[in-house]
Amino acid sequence: MAYAPMTARSRDEAHRTATPLELFFDLCFVVAVAQAGRQLVHALAEGHVGAGITGYLFVFFGLWWAWMNFTWFASAYDIDDVPYRVATLVQIAGVLVYSAGIPRAFNDNDWTVAVIGYVVMRLALTAQWLRAAAGETGAARRCALTYAAGLVLCQAGWVALLWAPEGSRRWLFLVLVAAELLVPVVAERRHQTNWHPHHIAERYGLFTVIVLGETIAASTVAVQSAIDEHEALDVLLPIAAGGLLLVFAAWWIYFAVPAHDRLGSNREAIPWGYGHYVIFAAAAAIGAGIEVVVEHAVGKAHISTLSANLSVSVPAATFLAFVWLLHSRHFKRGPAQQAVLPTAAAAILACAWTGTYAVLWAGLVAAAAVATGVTLVHRTRSEGVKRQEEVRS
């Protein structure tokens, strides 16, 4: 059976939306997100802050980078035929293997299973790029071949990492991360792939929603378990309420502006896409932090109240700050609107020093930031309408 060649889709394609296969892909990646969050909870609850954060950021990079590479490739070349679907399903299998290896990588610095899963994902994507190269000519073909070559070289580096001395693996990991990040920059220096701005913005938004949903699920399970085991509803209710307000506010703030309007070329899109590593990692870490606070409230976490509170306030503040940095600030009008999210991020961080009600205070600050932002935008629009009416009269 012959299949049509893989050629780039149009950047101007109307009604370009996420496919059911892409949504399935995202949901399977959340398994790995949940594993990373679970390991972060255990590390923070035991007071292993440095090792916990480092391990979390490392394992999160692998799953985020594989997700991101597939997303941008699919935006340009998704033809939804049988070979494309099979290659995508192989990548899903790879992330499930990667997920199974997260505990060993996190706790024992043993990356064997994680690297196997990662290589499976990347080799499937390499096959996709080679297929794209076969259907292209000129600069587009060279771009696709450069992607494939870069992927192969990086995967050889990850495999070699397994034989490196254990003490040097974390430093070599950073070198390989830098190499991975350079592949798109080098591949697209003379030819930009035909990724679709609206589709990319939607894909990132959907993954943000899924990660926030995982945060709610993890927090709910933690609160429920604590209630069942300790019957401490009066202590846990403020934590649950504050956590819910944080997640609601995070969703509202992220989707307050149309991100696709900023994605005109790689010059804007690459920093925006790369910066979402922090947004996604912070969103998932909010749920882990709430779990830590719950465990501290019932006496299961061996850390101080301040340390427990910081496990929520730091990722929540980071999320707000990076959403503002990557796209919200480009749509704000005037110093008052610009100041809302940075001020809220600083205030949420300060809430860590408010004791046992820190999560509730942080949630209230986030809710106030949403209310203030909505009010300022409405006021600006009303003033604009009023000025137009005065000009007409």
Q: Are 45 and 303 in contact (CB under 8 A)?
A: yes
Percentage above 90 pLDDT, the chain:
59
Q: For the whole prediction, is pTM greater than 0.85? A: yes
**9 inside domain:** no
**366 shares a domain with 278:** yes
Q: Are 102 and 95 in contact (CB under 8 A)?
A: no
Q: Are 154 and 176 in contact (CB under 8 A)?
A: yes
Q: What is the pLDDT of residues 303-321, one digit of tens each?
A: 999 999 999 999 999 999 9
**146 shares a domain with 242:** no
**271 shares a domain with 155:** no
**202 shares a domain with 177:** no
**202 shares a domain with 127:** no
Per DSSP, the three-state class of 162 is coil
179 residue type, one letter: A
Question: Euclidean distance between the first and final Cα of the chain, in Å?
Answer: 69
Place of tokens 């196997």: 116
Q: Which residues have C-beta within 8 Å of that of residue 175, sequence separation ≥ 6?
A: 157
Which one of 133, 159, 187 terminates a domain? 187
**6 inside domain:** no
Is the pLDDT score of 224 beyond 60?
A: yes
* pLDDT attached to residue 392: 58
**157 inside domain:** yes
**205 inside domain:** yes
**328 shares a domain with 180:** no
**208 shares a domain with 165:** no
**209 shares a domain with 172:** no
Q: Which residues have C-beta within 8 Å of that of residue 202, sequence separation ≥ 6?
A: 17, 18, 260
Question: Could you give the CA distance from residue 151 to residue 155 in angstroms, rounded to a whole number?
Answer: 6
**204 shares a domain with 352:** yes
**61 inside domain:** yes
H/E stretch holding 364: helix 358-392
Q: What is the pLDDT of residues 211-220, one digit of tens each?
A: 998 888 888 8
**107 shares a domain with 235:** no
**219 shares a domain with 134:** no
**266 inside domain:** yes
**258 inside domain:** yes
Q: Which residues have C-beta within 8 Å of that of residue 107, sequence separation ≥ 6?
A: 39, 55
**7 inside domain:** no
Domain with 289 in it: 197-392
Which one of 152, 187, 222 terminates a domain? 187
CATH number at residue 315: 1.20.1410
Q: What is the pLDDT of residues 253-290, one digit of tens each?
A: 999 888 777 887 888 889 999 999 999 999 999 999 99
Which one of 140, 158, 187 terminates a domain? 187
* pLDDT attached to residue 289: 92
Query: How many domains does the chain fold into?
Result: 2
**367 shares a domain with 295:** yes
